[in-house]
Amino acid sequence: MCCFPSHCRSMRRTMLVMQLLRGAVEHAGSSSRCGVEPLISAVRGISSSSQQFSNFGRTHPSSCTDTDHPKVLITGGLGQLGVGLAKLLRRRFGKNNVILSDIRKPPNHVYHNGPFIFSDILDYKNLREIVVNNNISWLVHYSAVLSAVGESNVTLAKEVNITGLHNILDIATEHGLRVFVPSTIGAFGPSSPRDPTPDLCVQRPQTIYGVSKVHAELMGEYYHHRYGLDFRCLRYPGIISADSQPGGGTTDYAVQIFHAAVKTGCFECNLRSDTRLPMMYIDDCLRATLEILEAPADTLVRRTYNINAMSFTPHDLIQEIQKVLPDLKVTYNVDPVRQAIADGWPMALEDSAARRDWGWKHEYDLQELVQTMLTHITTGNQLAQAY
Ligand SMILES: NC(=O)C1=CN([C@@H]2O[C@H](COP(=O)(O)OP(=O)(O)OC[C@H]3O[C@@H](n4cnc5c(N)ncnc54)[C@H](O)[C@@H]3O)[C@@H](O)[C@H]2O)C=CC1
Ligand SMILES: CC(=O)[C@H](N)C(=O)O
């Protein structure tokens, strides 16, 4: 239901678009992007079988060759983060050198924009076949069941987040891959220091998601020490993106509010107004991921790093959005499961080690985040593609 009087809405939208366009153009002129190469257009081939797919890069060569660049497999690639990461990595390494995979059917724009393959991380043999047949050298392991969904299906979360991770680590070790596994603010719990939370401290999370991510951090580090696995891990804050939807987490409200603000002018928030959590705009998150993947091994003093950008409460976020959309109306209907999770999570992550060791630096603060999100949602992806 809409809160704006209908006769005002279209005029408000037009004004908003113009205001945001102006801001976005200024922002584009003043801040640098990720320093990636222009997208290389390459002929695309698609196969539904990993065996047919195996010669993809050689059959349709782009200007990036396998010897120049890693061959990357992204698992769980159809979630909130995977498609954006594939786009970034394809600009850097060539379209055919980055394979997205998932157990779901991709939307057309994903299917037609680069290699996509079915891969269930619980199927060890199939995963190994994909790695071998496609000469994979880097594995980005995004498949997961997130915090809120995990609490409603612990069995699935254990399977995907723990058994699936074991498959990934074993295959990566067997084939000498570099492997990136994201961790999360959810890997901490109520007994961790919360503001800020250091890299090394008590980790006693109270969700299956958090427990499985601590397990992933420790297993990856163990395989690194024991077998020399090139394991790399970042603890992401809640990630905020305009053109991909969150997959059932505790921080989802901070994405949903933007869509509601633009579309209806009303939002029902499922966390208390004073719940402070660490958050990050997706571009910063994906750039950090590329940066740690590319960091020379001898710069990595540890294998699991916190990264931080901003922290805010629903109240702070609403105030910032209302600077652009003053008529936004927010009500609260607190979800006790999500609230209990959020109350045990960090308010900010201490990330000086990432900044020191491999030069991590965020670009988006709350003000830039709001401007950018409203611009993307209001204008679709037109501006983003023009950058
Ligand atoms: N989005 C966020 O705010 C944050 C994400 N992360 C981590 O980043 C990674 C990616 O996150 P999102 O894209 O947000 O997750 P998401 O929940 O949006 O997507 C996860 C994907 O995994 C796939 N998947 C589920 N079971 C699978 C299986 N058996 N085999 C293969 N794929 C399977 C799903 O189909 C889904 O597309 C996850 O590991 C998550 O824990 C960490 C902190 C914050
Ligand atoms: C912070 C996360 O890991 C995720 N967004 C969640 O809320 O579960």
Q: Is the pLDDT of residue 21 over 60?
A: no
Is this prediction's ipTM beyond 0.90? yes
The predicted-structure confidence for 335-373, as pLDDT tens digits, reads as follows 999 999 999 999 999 999 999 999 999 999 999 999 999
Q: Is the pLDDT of residue 386 over 70?
A: no
Q: Is the minimum distance from the CB of 251 to ligand 1 under 6 angstroms? A: yes
Which string of b and e fits 159-184 if b means at least 16 CB within 10 Å? ebbbebbebbbbbbbeeebbbbbbbb
Separation of CA 248 and ligand 1 centre (Å): 9
- How far apart CA 124 and CA 175 sit, in angstroms, is 13
Q: Is the minimum distance from the CB of 369 to ligand 2 under 6 angstroms? A: no
Residue whose CA is at the smallest distance from ligand 1 atom 16: 79
Helix (H) or strand (E) holding 329, with range, is: strand 329-332
CA Rg value for the chain: 21
**Nearest to residue 332, comparing CAs of 268, 283, 379?**
268
Question: pLDDT at position 382, please?
Answer: 47
Whether the Cβ atoms of residue 247 and residue 79 lie closer than 8 Å to each other? yes
Q: Is the minimum distance from the CB of 248 to ligand 2 under 6 angstroms? A: no
CA torsion, points 134, 64, 168, 177, in degrees to nearest 10? 100
Whether the Cβ atoms of residue 218 and residue 210 lie closer than 8 Å to each other? no
Residues 6+ apart with CB under 8 A from 321: 257, 258, 261, 328, 370, 374
Residue whose CA is at the smallest distance from ligand 1 atom 19: 79
Higher-confidence residue of 55 and 227: namely 227
Question: pLDDT at position 68, please?
Answer: 76
Token pair 């905020």 is at which residue?
Answer: 240
Mean pLDDT to the nearest integer, 296-323: 98
- pTM equals 0.86
Token pair 């699936």 is at which residue?
Answer: 164
Question: pLDDT at position 17, please?
Answer: 45
Phi and psi at residue 23, in whole multiples of 5°?
A: -60, -40
The predicted-structure confidence for 95-117, as pLDDT tens digits, reads as follows 999 999 999 999 999 999 999 99
The predicted-structure confidence for 120-152, as pLDDT tens digits, reads as follows 999 999 999 999 999 999 999 999 999 999 999
Which string of b and e fits 77-100 if b means at least 16 CB within 10 Å? bbbbbbbbbbbbbbbbbbbbbbbb
Cis peptide before 314 (omega within 30 of 0): no
Question: pLDDT at position 367, please?
Answer: 98
Q: Is the minimum distance from the CB of 238 to ligand 2 under 6 angstroms? A: yes
Separation of CA 163 and ligand 1 centre (Å): 15
Residue whose CA is at the smallest distance from ligand 1 atom 14: 80
Mutate to test the pocket of ligand 1, among 99, 143, 282, 284 (most ligand atoms within 8 A of CB): 143
Mutate to test the pocket of ligand 1, among 75, 80, 155 (most ligand atoms within 8 A of CB): 80
Question: pLDDT at position 15, please?
Answer: 46
* Residue 209 appears among annotated catalytic residues: yes
Question: Counting ligands in written order, which one lies closest to the CA of residue 151?
Answer: 2
Separation of CA 239 and ligand 2 centre (Å): 8
Q: Is the minimum distance from the CB of 146 to ligand 2 under 6 angstroms? A: yes
Whether the Cβ atoms of residue 338 and residue 259 lie closer than 8 Å to each other? no
